[in-house]
Structure 1
Amino acid sequence: MYKSDYFRTSLLLIVLLAVIQLSCTQERNVTRPNIIIILIDDMGWKDFGEAGSTYYETPNIDRMSREGIRFTKGYSSAPVCSPSRGAIYTGRYSGRTKFSTVFGHHVDSVAELRTVAKEGERNGRKKFNNRTEDALHYHTLPLTETTFADVLSQNGYKTGFLGKWHCGWDPEFWPNKRGFEYAEGFRIIPSPSSHFGKSVIGNMYGMEDLKPNDYVGDKLTDKAVNYINENANTEKPFMLVLSHFLVHGPLEGKDDYVKRFSIKPTTDQDKPVYAAMMQSVDESVGRVLQAIEKVGIDENTVVIFTSDNGGPVPTTSNYPLLGGKSFIFEAGMRIPFLVRWKGKIAPGVNQEHRIIQTDLFPTILDITGISKKPDLHKDGNSFYPLLTKDGAWNQQPIFFHFPHYTHATSPATALIDNDWKLIRFYNDVDDQYLLFNLKEDPYEQNDLSEIETGKMEKMVQLMEQYLADINAEMPVVNPDFDSSKPGELGKDYYYEFANRQRMEKKKLLENSNRTQPKQTI
């Protein structure tokens, strides 16, 4: 009798423990939401309807904006893609990681500081009298850096990645070695880009079934939907990054979409092929939202939508902001930044606080209930309180160190503190700075550097302190620079260039058959 009672009691305890464990697992899934990040390549800040576009058709992105929070002053961490992506994954500025520009396709991605130049060729713009050349930088995201995928994977999350990586070519730097347990759809060797399968067949990891006429964005979305279906409502929550190659060049859209936009009245946004590509992006967003709704995880899934840098000009228009991709001005880093968490955050909010993509790492940890790791995401400031109105949030200065050349800038550093923005151009011997009050002058038209001298002094000190704190690589001095002449590709050159492009877009808008709705700048 005693043994019978003992075994009966033991059995009841086992059953009770199993029930408790199941309950805890279910509770964990409720309190630890899934995370989906949809990362677009080169999408401009107003390339969707809710941001002011009347030419592009983006009903699903607009729906996501209405059902969540739109950060109207969201920033990428750099004006070009590779350093921006590295900053997203690590929560560290590219100046700190030294993964600070697009790396050359002609070299491997060995983690050592190198120039952009080909072997034996000095970088910079040799035909110009430039005071500086490109700073040294890594051609890959160093393995010493920890990604948010590493942390989520170590804390019970399934982690997936699909699409453009661009943080290192060699296999040891691929996403499946950087915390993503599942990773497909990234290019494995440098090759010509295309949005159709014909040019990338055999070079898309895990997409061996790609056919010549397949639209790559659609196939990546197929895989995203499959990943959601396979991992929904399982014991572990999941995190998925869907990193599209769209809308980066080459401009290639589906023919029927291109034809439709070719007969639609244009505005300052006037490229039918780009509009067709934006429609494909929007359809991808719609399919992702539909997938999480269909499997019943809509209210336990946070969806984040953003871009890696500002929109390229003249391909799209960022008017009335100044610049675009590769510029150090506002539109070079201003991006779409949407967060949807149905039932958890208030819908239809236009949040005007400035956030930057390094903030994603600590925010994701707050969302998932994982302790923050300040030593890792040193440059991230969690905006979780802005999502949930739970706790205090303090605006921090944001920095952009880009000591490199593009067609649209020479080596520069920018700083935004509250509503003040300081830009330093290193090619100029004297008079290196531009200073703007973004509250009064969001379009960067009135340089106050010679008027607000007290503010200038404080901003310069803050910038110098930041550069010292991150041990920044600085532009290399050009030994052939003629100091009796001004540096040619400097502040005035690029400021005038950006404003010429801005005026061209303004004229397009004024001459179009449409006027755009009031925008939140």
Structure 2
Amino acid sequence: MKHLKTITIISLLSVALLSCKTGEKETKPNIVVILCDDLGYGDLSSFGHSFIETPNLDKLAEEGIKCTSFYSAAPVCSPSRAGLLTGRSPNRAGIYDFIPGPKKSEDCRDLVHLQAHEKTIPAMLKTVGYSTCLSGKWHCSSYFNSEKQPTPGYFGFDHWFATHNNAAPSHENPKNFVRNGEDVGQLEGFSCQLVVDEALNWLKEKEADNPFYLQVCFHEPHEPVASPQMIVDKYMPKAENENQAQYFANVENMDKAVGRLISYLEANYSENTLVVFSSDNGPETLNRYSRAKRSYGSPGPLKGMKLWTTEAGFRVPGVLYWLGKETFNGTSDAVISSLDFMPTFAEISGAKLPDVELDGQSMMPLIETGRMERIKPLTWAFYDAINERRVAMRTDDWKIMCSLKSEDTTMVRLHNIYDGNLPMIKNAEMTDFVLYNMKQDISESSDVSEEYPEKFEEMKELLKAEYGNLLDGSFVWNREKE
């Protein structure tokens, strides 16, 4: 009888524990994605910058998971953002380069936008009861805030406060924000702080007790850079000139905005909130175009910059911080990507993944143990790359790259795939392969294809298969079908 009573007590305790684990708040955490614009791998103090002070992000990295092999979906803004939202290579969505304004061009670039049929993270999370908000940069359409192309609201954001592309005329006192379809007019303050203001106001006014998905997309430190003078003055003794001091101050001001947001989350949502911080791509090259006069971003030890398929183009700082949940704590070199957000968020929320081919996978092994083996390699085909090797693939310790040649010459740089250039792309030869051991050579300084011939052949065949799959699934624009 005593034995039976013990079993009954244990059974009741087990049921109670199971109920706690499967309860609404436990299974559906709040999710916050913070995305910078053009932040370099080496721009945070915790990732090696000598001068820029980023104490809030450094604290997140110390208390959470510092991800040293975190990759964006592309080495430039629009495709990177589309990849994050959909969990698919942006090539599948037909977003191959940054999206300009709607100026008609032969290559149909003026048509490019995130199309209505694409399935996104906020839309997925709404199916399991989430409230959703976007605050900051959008840049997933050529016609912004227009009936001609879907707005952020169409893709599942209940509330959106956004700009088409950059804050204008600069980060200071921007006048091009739109809130839920209505022009806001000129605002006073700096963009990153205004974006956090909006996010905090939305959280404070949110009436329901349901979980939320909040996507905070800073303009910083993308040009045109503008920063609080007090912070600029602090960096003047350390900087080469005022423009560099402006850049350093820009990153610190962004960090201060992150600190405000995290403080509010810790005070109000500390029981179960996952925060993910990253950048859309690597740092801009100083003076690459006329307005890039303050682009002093750092690639750290990585090769290249924004618009390159070498590491600095899309290997970016990454931090995961889960309030209220015990996770791995420390630095992880596991290979992860913004493409992994959708499957991860589906797993932790109980949402059903969309019935489309995804290129990401759940990061839960990383979150729980600090380790993760990639089931599907990360593959990039960026046809407008500044470097000649336009196709790259990373899996585990290895990275392989190749050029595309058309009629024995390197294929011209392309902004878009449309019916007029598709035959050239389909017929391009993959050539000039190089192999890097990323564990031993983060700077991609030594091609080891001859040192590891078997691995080289294995990776070459895998890249051909993965690129072939990606090319077959890439969306092709056609003006006659629009």
**1:156-305 alignment runs, 5 A limit:** 156-170=129-143, 171=146, 172-187=149-164, 193-198=169-174, 200-201=175-176, 208=183, 210-211=185-186, 213-231=188-206, 234-264=208-238, 271-295=244-268, 297-305=269-277
Moved more, 92-101 or 271-280: 92-101
What is the match of residue 382 of structure 1? 362
**2-structure distance, mates of 1:202, 1:325:** 25
Is 1:351 the counterpart of 2:332 in the alignment?
Answer: yes
Is 1:402 the counterpart of 2:389 in the alignment?
Answer: no
- CA distance 1:347–1:313, change in 2 (3 Å): farther
What is the match of residue 145 of structure 1? 118
- CA distance 1:141–1:193, change in 2 (3 Å): farther
Moved more, 430-439 or 94-103: 430-439
- CA distance 1:282–1:100, change in 2 (3 Å): same
CA drift of 1:444 comes to 0.5
- CA distance 1:39–1:456, change in 2 (3 Å): same
**2-structure distance, mates of 1:207, 1:60:** 33
- CA distance 1:212–1:250, change in 2 (3 Å): same
Q: Deviations 1:311-370 (Å, cap 9, x if unpaired)?
A: 223422213211121111011111111111123134641111110110010111112132
Is 1:422 the counterpart of 2:395 in the alignment?
Answer: no
Is 1:37 the counterpart of 2:12 in the alignment?
Answer: no
Match among 76, 81, 92 for residue 80 of structure 1? 76
SS at match of 1:299: coil
Moved more, 464-473 or 178-187: 464-473
Larger radius of gyration: 1
SS at match of 1:240: strand
Is the Cα contact below 8 Å between 1:78 and 1:400 reproduced in 2?
Answer: no
Q: TM-score, normalised by structure 2?
A: 0.79
SS at match of 2:367: helix
What is the match of residue 119 of structure 1? 105
**1-structure distance, mates of 2:129, 2:475:** 40
**2-structure distance, mates of 1:438, 1:298:** 36
Is the Cα contact below 8 Å between 1:93 and 1:379 reproduced in 2?
Answer: yes
What is the match of residue 321 of structure 1? 302
Is the Cα contact below 8 Å between 2:167 and 2:219 reproduced in 1?
Answer: no
Identical-residue share of aligned pairs (%): 29
Amino acid of the residue matched to residue 334 of structure 2?
H
Is the Cα contact below 8 Å between 1:398 and 1:415 reproduced in 2?
Answer: yes
**1-structure distance, mates of 2:270, 2:167:** 38
Amino acid of the residue matched to residue 123 of structure 2?
D
Is the Cα contact below 8 Å between 2:381 and 2:391 reproduced in 1?
Answer: yes
SS at match of 1:426: strand
What is the match of residue 90 of structure 1? 86
**2-structure distance, mates of 1:236, 1:311:** 37
CA drift of 1:160 comes to 0.8
Is 1:334 the counterpart of 2:315 in the alignment?
Answer: yes
- CA distance 1:58–1:217, change in 2 (3 Å): same
Amino acid of the residue matched to residue 462 of structure 2?
L
- CA distance 1:168–1:148, change in 2 (3 Å): same
Q: TM-score, normalised by structure 1?
A: 0.74
SS at match of 2:400: strand
Is the Cα contact below 8 Å between 1:67 and 1:347 reproduced in 2?
Answer: no
SS at match of 1:250: coil
CA drift of 1:298 comes to 1.4
**1-structure distance, mates of 2:351, 2:177:** 39
CA drift of 1:462 comes to 1.1
Is 1:467 the counterpart of 2:467 in the alignment?
Answer: yes
**1:509-520 alignment runs, 5 A limit:** none
- CA distance 1:190–1:347, change in 2 (3 Å): closer
Q: Deviations 1:20-48 (Å, cap 9, x if unpaired)?
A: xxx99x94134311111111111112211
SS at match of 2:323: coil
CA drift of 1:150 comes to 0.8
**2-structure distance, mates of 1:257, 1:442:** 32
Is the Cα contact below 8 Å between 2:239 and 2:245 reproduced in 1?
Answer: no
Amino acid of the residue matched to residue 194 of structure 2?
K
Amino acid of the residue matched to residue 440 of structure 1?
Q
- CA distance 1:179–1:474, change in 2 (3 Å): closer
**1-structure distance, mates of 2:351, 2:476:** 38
**1-structure distance, mates of 2:272, 2:377:** 31
**2-structure distance, mates of 1:426, 1:475:** 18
Amino acid of the residue matched to residue 324 of structure 1?
M
**2-structure distance, mates of 1:164, 1:422:** 32
**1-structure distance, mates of 2:166, 2:284:** 22
**2-structure distance, mates of 1:183, 1:342:** 25
CA drift of 1:235 comes to 2.9
**2-structure distance, mates of 1:190, 1:348:** 35
